[in-house]
């Protein structure tokens, strides 16, 4: 028997397979953005080329790009970023509401591509009317009362938190550190190896730490991430929602609600995030006619119980 | 080569390359404070054991982002890739470790770089930063069994297999 394959059928089959593999792959891979070698200061005469090579080799053991920052180091940066934000926003100490947000958020985080960070994921409500949420490195996620008031059900709370978890997974905060800062700290550590740092070196490392925290905080509070990173975070959020069993359409719904409530010139999400309508379009959705599947009564009841008065 | 055939060949090569299995590393270290060992490669799997930062485990298999590991004591379980590193985590590093690890990309130096000491200095300079509430935040812990009960109670039905 002679087997004859139609070229178009083969082509379609291969294309379907190709697209399937793409969709099944994870949200994002992390690519290096820094080159320690390029920033060692050889050209400026800070170190000789021989020293630079030695440092370059040693730096491998300590870390050479933002992605080589260990989860432990990321954790300490995240603590300082969260503490800085908490110096500007008061926490909302309602135990039941915070417990509920942690139940939703920590469960979602387990379904991400990065379920384990050094210190785990933790969520806290901020006592602020503005619509906003922040993801400090390592898993410290802060969400305002204003943002939670915008949510009409648990699925929408999950959508907001999933977006922040995606920023943690992508280590987006660390990407906003200016390259020179990390390199200076890593260079000192690499050059000094395991010796106890002298007070001068410790001061320099602390300065790099402060600068990194400042860069991340400025991005979270004022500048925002690029539209590409936001688009990616939304895409990952849809994935996490689907895996856990929440309605992925809740993200589009909450974005639509955000659009009607935020002002571009105002504070919070309106200033640091792309226009919600653009984000909805990026997700392939239509701003109007968003579906809202019925939320089970027990789920809605516990949402009302925990966040009804937030 | 016709365009359709060229695209097909490219796709096949891509698929072969992306699905090539190079095998998991034989031994890995826990790179988080508490690494969870689960009964199956899913976030829905029961937690069989918890391992500490720096613990070495033997990897005996891999499924997506999940590593099948031999737990000290003899049993087997699954750990997510995000909890593990190929590097050996040195908890109390000394000069000797640098000598062997500096050019080998094999060591992760615990407690080096940004650490509790750096945080202490940061706190002295930034009195307005509220670490008290960060500490409180860290005490918000949801255990795996609580997550499963929460999902069930709310009629939230995870996809079979869940996280990769």
Mean pLDDT check: name the lowest of A34-43, A88-97, A155-164, B135-144. A34-43
Distance from C-alpha of B84 to C-alpha of B67, rounded to nearest angstrom: 9
Query: Which residues 56-95 of B have a C-beta within 8 angstroms of A?
Result: 65, 80, 82-83, 93-95
Superfamily of domain B23-90+130-153: SH3 Domains (2.30.30.40)
- What chain B residue is nearest to A107 in terms of C-alpha separation? B147
Residues of A in Cβ contact (< 8 Å) with B130: 83, 86-87, 91
Contact A243 B159 (CB under 8 A): yes
Contact B12 A299 (CB under 8 A): no
pLDDT tens-digit readout, B92-150: 654 444 444 333 356 676 777 788 888 999 999 999 999 999 999 999 999 999 999 99
Q: Is B101 on the interface with A (CB under 8 A)?
A: yes
Tell me, what's the pLDDT at A39?
34
The closest CB to that of A62, out of B8, B109, B121, belongs to: B109
Distance from C-alpha of B33 to C-alpha of A142, rounded to nearest angstrom: 22
Residues of B in Cβ contact (< 8 Å) with A245: 151, 156-159
Which is more confident, A288 or A186? A186
Distance from C-alpha of B60 to C-alpha of B47, rounded to nearest angstrom: 18
Residue B49: closest CA among B73, B14, B84: B73
Q: SS3 for A194?
A: coil
Q: SS3 for A140?
A: strand
Closest approach of A106 to chain B, Cα-based (Å): 7
pLDDT tens-digit readout, A25-77: 456 533 332 333 333 333 334 344 444 444 444 444 344 567 678 899 999 99
* ipTM (interface predicted TM): 0.80
Tell me, what's the pLDDT at B92?
63
* Rg of chain A over all Cα atoms, to the nearest angstrom: 23
Closest approach of A173 to chain B, Cα-based (Å): 15
Helices (H), ranges, chain A = 7-24, 49-62, 71-86, 95-110, 145-150, 154-169, 172-175, 179-192, 199-218, 227-244, 249-261, 269-272, 276-282, 297-307
Q: What is the SS3 string spanning B74-135?
A: CCEEEEEHHHEECCEEECCCCHHHHHHHCCCCCEEECCCCCCHHHHHHHHHHCCCCCHHHHH
- What chain A residue is nearest to B95 in terms of C-alpha separation? A194
Q: SS3 for B61?
A: strand
């Amino acid at each position: 028997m002679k087997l004859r394959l139609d070229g178009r059928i083969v082509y379609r089959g291969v294309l379907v397979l190709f697209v399937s593999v793409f969709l099944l792959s994870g949200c994002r891979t992390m690519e290096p953005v820094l080159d320690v070698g390029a920033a060692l200061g050889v050209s400026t005469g800070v170190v000789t080329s021989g020293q630079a090579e030695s440092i370059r080799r040693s730096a491998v053991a300590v870390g050479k790009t933002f992605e080589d920052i260990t989860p432990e180091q990321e954790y300490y940066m995240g603590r300082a970023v969260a503490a800085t934000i908490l110096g500007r926003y008061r926490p909302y100490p309602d135990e039941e509401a915070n417990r509920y947000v942690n139940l939703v958020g920590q469960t979602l985080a387990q379904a991400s591509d990065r379920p384990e960070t050094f210190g785990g994921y933790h969520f806290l409500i901020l006592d602020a009317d503005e619509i906003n949420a922040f993801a400090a490195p390592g898993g410290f996620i802060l969400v305002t009362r204003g943002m939670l008031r915008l949510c009409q059900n648990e699925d929408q709370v999950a959508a907001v938190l999933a977006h922040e978890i995606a920023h943690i997974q992508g280590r987006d905060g660390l990407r906003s550190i200016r390259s020179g800062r990390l390199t200076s700290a890593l260079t000192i550590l690499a050059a000094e190896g395991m010796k106890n740092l002298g007070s001068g070196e410790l001061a320099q490392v602390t300065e790099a730490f402060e600068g990194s925290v400042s860069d991340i905080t400025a991005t979270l509070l004022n500048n925002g991430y690029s539209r590409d990173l936001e688009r990616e975070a939304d895409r990952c959020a849809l994935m996490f929602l689907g895996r856990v069993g929440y309605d992925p359409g809740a993200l589009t719904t909450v974005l639509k609600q955000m659009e009607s409530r935020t002002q571009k010139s105002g504070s919070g999400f309106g200033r640091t995030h792309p226009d919600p309508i653009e984000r909805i379009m990026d997700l392939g959705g239509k701003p109007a006619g968003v579906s809202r599947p019925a939320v089970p009564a027990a789920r809605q009841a516990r949402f009302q119980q925990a966040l009804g008065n937030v | 080569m016709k365009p359709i055939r060229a695209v097909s060949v490219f796709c096949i090569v891509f698929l072969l390359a992306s699905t090539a299995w190079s095998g998991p590393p034989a031994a890995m270290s826990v790179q988080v404070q508490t690494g969870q060992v689960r009964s199956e490669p899913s976030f829905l799997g029961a937690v069989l054991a918890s391992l500490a930062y720096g613990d070495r485990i033997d990897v005996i298999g891999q499924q997506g982002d999940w590593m099948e590991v031999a737990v000290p004591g003899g049993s087997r379980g699954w750990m997510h890739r995000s909890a593990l590193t190929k590097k050996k985590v040195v908890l109390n590093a000394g000069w000797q470790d640098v000598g062997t690890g500096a050019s080998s990309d094999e060591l992760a130096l615990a407690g080096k770089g940004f650490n509790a000491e750096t945080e202490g200095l940061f706190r002295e300079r930034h009195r307005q930063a509220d670490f008290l509430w960060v500490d409180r935040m860290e005490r918000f812990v949801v255990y795996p069994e609580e997550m499963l009960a929460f999902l069930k109670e709310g009629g939230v039905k995870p996809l079979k297999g869940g996280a990769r």
